[in-house]
Amino acid sequence: LPWVVVPEIQAVYARMQPVWPHIRLYGVSIGAWLAMQALRAEKLEKALLVSPVVDMETLILSMMQGAHVTEEQLKAAREHPLQWHTPTQVLYGDKDALTSRAVMERFRRQSGAHLTILQGGEHWFHTEVQLAVLQSWEEHQCG
């Protein structure tokens, strides 16, 4: 739950900050969204995001539509749009079923993130090819 996870991420960051001068974020899917919510005011060196959820409202509305749930039945997640200002690299699969290309492009414009798109990539990188691309991308970003 966000109200549990976000304070935990903030607590870990608070313990790390005095000890480590260079802190980077690595986030996947909804974990990336939770971490960006928790650390949006912090000065991170860099963020590496794989298939990040960057627009929770759109994701929820899309899932609601698929489940035939009305907006009146779900209101809680609409009050906190994401604002993110850390230098960020995003690896995104063009077949991502959770985050559309338009939503990802809007995040890129708003945050200044660099977007790498894997043709044929899905939200969860799981095939041999996808995992090889992910590993190469991570090595390039962290090298």
Q: How far is CA 64 from the centre of its chain?
A: 20
Taking only the tens place, the pLDDT of each residue in 65-86 is 888 778 776 665 465 667 899 9
Q: What pTM was estimated for this model as a whole?
A: 0.66
Could you give the percent of the chain with pLDDT greater than 70? 94
User: 26-57: per-residue pLDDT in tens?
Assistant: 999 999 999 999 999 999 999 999 999 999 98
Residue 8's SS3 state is helix
